[in-house]
Amino acid sequence: MQHNFVETILGAIVLALAIAFFGWAYGQSTAGDPGGYTLVARFERVDGLEVGADVKIAGIKVGRVLALAIDPETFRAEVRFSVKAGLALPADSTAAIASASLLGGKYLAIVPGGEDRTLKPGEEITFTQSAVNLEDLIGRYVFGGQGAGGAPGQQGRRGE
């Protein structure tokens, strides 16, 4: 009987540790409400930006991307993101989609402006810079400036 009691206690300890670990992992993840307030920015393209991506100011994480959608009137990409409470961003701040590394993902970089008026929850950052498409840049270099945006059937032709 003593042997079963010890096994039961050890099982309960292991189960409690597992529950504590999952609670800690959930708290560290990007799931759940990040807090703060929500802002919006519209871009021509958001290649590689994902929901849950970091929002950074001066390289420090201050929020995360909450949603990506298409504006049906302008066909621009609409990005909804959170910013930590207590960070009053000036109204003339800019938002850019930046690369974490050559092979890594993208994040939303915010550069605060100098205006006295601050953005309120739900307002839009109007000064934006879209993601740079690496394939287009390589194509322009390889094909002498025509790149992927050239006329159909003329990519790679020279001397015509």
Domain positions in the chain are: 1-32, 37-139
Q: Are 125 and 93 in contact (CB under 8 A)?
A: yes
Q: State the average pLDDT over residues 55-65.
A: 92
Distance CA 100, CA 15 (A): 38
With a cut of 90, say whether residue 30 has pLDDT above it. no
Dihedral of alpha carbons 100, 102, 103, 105, sign = positive
Reduce the DSSP state of residue 48 to 3 states and report it: coil
Reduce the DSSP state of residue 23 to 3 states and report it: helix
Closest CA to 39 of 95, 77, 1: 95
Instruction: Give the pLDDT confidence of 97-151 residue by residue, as tens digits.
Output: 988 877 778 899 999 998 999 999 999 999 998 877 777 778 888 887 654 444 4
Supply the pLDDT for residue 138: 81
Alpha carbon 157 to its chain's center: 38
Residue 132 token pair: 């740079």
Residue 32 token pair: 């759940």
Lowest mean pLDDT of 15-19, 26-30, 136-140, 150-154, name the range: 150-154
Distance CA 63, CA 41 (A): 14
Buried (b) or exposed (e) across 142-154, using 16+ Cβ within 10 A?
A: ebeebbeebeeee
Q: What is the number of alpha carbons within 13 Å of residue 23 lying toward its C-beta?
A: 6
Read off the amino acid at residue 41. Answer: A
Q: Are 107 and 88 in contact (CB under 8 A)?
A: no
**Residues of the chain with pLDDT > 70: what percent?**
82
0.75 exceeded by pTM: no
